Structure formats: C-alpha cells, structure tokens
Structure 1
Amino acid sequence: MPFDRFPCYAVEASLFDKLSETEQTQGILAVFPLPERTLALQASLLLALDGLRDPATWGRLLRTAGAAGVDGVILLPGTVDLLTRRPCALGWDAQFRLALLTTSL
C-alpha cells in the first residue's frame, strides 16, 4: 500500500497528548473515516446489545459473535461507545469486521 496517499503531520507533544487517550503512547496516531456497513434485511443471525456498559463484556461478546458467524450487531441505547479506546482494544478488531447498527426501539 503506497503510504504517500495519506497525509502525515508532526505535532507538538502537548497537542498529541490531547488527541490521544493513552497515557504511554508509541508516538503514532491515526485519524480516518470508518467504512459504512449495513445490516441486510435477510441477515440470518443478529446479536442485540441493550444497555451494555462494561467494555470487557462488550469485547468478549463481539469476539464471540464474530467467531459464531453472527451477521451483525444491533447496539441499543446505553450500550458502550464502541469506538473509544478500551472497547476498541478489547474487541480485537471485531467491531471493524461486523456490521453494526446503532438504533433505538
């Protein structure tokens, strides 16, 4: 992949610390749009999470869903923000491979 397609910037340490949620960083930060995914109407197996606040449980459920062949995950109100640091780390990238839909009933 040619990396010259992506702009790179050097920033002051104070700004980097504000952008990063990690206390001890490796000095690299990426900002990018997430690909759009949709849940097909004919999806055969869905997981719905309602009010799940614990990132560790969220990560385990997402990894298990991916391994079990779940087609998509429906995130109902009160469910942990899937793109913050801890859920991202605990999801082991499952949140980027599964179709996710945030909605309310």
Structure 2
Amino acid sequence: MRTQQILKAWRWALVAALAVGVTGLWSGIATAAWQPTKSVEFVVPAGTGGGADIMARFIFPLVEKHKLSPQPLIVVNRSGGAGAEGFMHVKEKKGDPHV
C-alpha cells in the first residue's frame, strides 16, 4: 500500500515537471520579455508536506541550479478552506507579477 502511494506521488511529480517544462518551451517569447525585479512568491494552496508543497520544493532548486530566474523563488504555503485561502491570497495580489 505504501509503495503505491509513493509511485502515485512520483507519477504526479513527473506530470507536473513535464507540464512546467512544456509551458516554459511554449512561452519562450513571453518569458524573454519579462524578468522579475524582486523575489517571486510561489503560493501553494495547501499545507507543508503535501503533494503540491513537495513538488514546488522539488522544482525550485532546479530553477536556481540552472539559473532560470535572476531572482530567488519563495514557496509560500496558504492552507485552509480546501485551497481557498491560497487562491484568495493570489486574487488579492492581482496585478503583482511576482506572486
């Protein structure tokens, strides 16, 4: 049973990593046009240790290692309300490209 959970988590991690990679390839022009001027806040609408949190913390060292962002990336967990707290936080920051 535990092995199935681990395999499922790795499967989701692979899917998410591929999605991020494909999105990066498709948005090459857009990413070249904008560069962050301060740290980028990546909001995870779940608690620490959850799947989304683990994925974000897995990707961020890769971004730093390969110098994909000139500014540091920060993982911010906003749990509560089945993700509503995180989504509301992002909505309140509308217009701020660093969130």
Say yes or no: TM over 0.5.
no
Structure (1 or 2) with the greater helix fraction: 2
Q: What is the TM-score normalised by the length of structure 2?
A: 0.30
Instruction: Report the TM-score when normalising by structure 1.
Output: 0.28
Which protein has the larger Cα radius of gyration, Structure 1 or Structure 2?
1
Q: Which has the higher contact order (CA 8 A, sep 6+)?
A: 2
